[in-house]
Amino acid sequence: MVPDYPDWLPRALAALLVLTLLAPVFGWAAGQVGYAEPLENAAEATGATEHATAVGTALFPDYGVPGLGGATGTFVSAVVGTALTLLLGAAIGRVLGTDVDGRQ
């Protein structure tokens, strides 16, 4: 039996695929313009970075994968992050039990 998917699902998955494939381009562009995270900028401006201590490690520090190059690491990070987000959203949807259209 084939599940009945909502009409918007193929378009949403296509948009996520395009954004995932463009992730290395966004990473490269951020490096070209000297982009830094706003919270990091605020910490540096206030001197908070001098007193900072690490409390844990990130799965993908700086949106990359240690040991992989910039674009490759960003791409792998985007694929894994997108997949985990979709799986979490699907799991929450199953727990809640209704579709966006109100179907059970």
Task: Determine how many CB atoms are found less than 10 A away from the CB of residue 64.
Answer: 18
Give a yes or no: residue 91 inside a domain: yes
Residue 13 structural domain? 7-102
pLDDT tens for the 104 residues of the chain, in order = 556 777 788 888 899 889 888 887 887 888 889 887 888 888 888 988 888 787 777 777 777 788 887 778 878 888 888 888 888 988 888 888 765 555 55
89 in helix, strand or coil? Answer: helix
CA distance 23 to 79: 9
Establish if 27 belongs to a structural domain.
Answer: yes
**Looking at the 3D structure of the chain, how many domains does it have?**
1
Domain assignment of residue 2, yes or no: no
Whether pTM exceeds 0.75: no
